[in-house]
Amino acid sequence: MDFFKILYKNRKLALKLGRNDFRNRFANTSLGTIWGFLQPFIFMITYVIVFQYILRSGSSGEYPYVVWFLPGMSMWMYCSDAILTASNSIRNYSYLVKKVVFPVDIIPIISLTSSSFIGIFLMFIAVVVSSIFGFIPNFLNVLYILICALAFIIALTRLTSAITTVVPDFAQLLTIVIQLCMWFTPIVWNLSMIQNQVFVKIFKCMPFTYLVEGFRQAFMENSTIITDENYMFTIVFWVITILIFVWGNRVFKKSKKDFADVL
Q: What is the pLDDT of residues 165-210, one digit of tens each?
A: 999 899 999 999 999 999 999 988 888 888 889 999 999 999 999 9
Q: Which residues of the chain have pLDDT under 70?
A: 1, 26-33, 55-61, 99-100, 221-223, 263
Say what the pLDDT of residue 223 is.
Answer: 66
- CA–CA distance, 257 with 198 (Å, rounded to integer): 44
Say what the pLDDT of residue 258 is.
Answer: 81
- CA–CA distance, 20 with 184 (Å, rounded to integer): 34
- Reported pTM: 0.91
Q: What is the pLDDT of residues 138-163, one digit of tens each?
A: 889 999 999 999 999 999 999 999 99
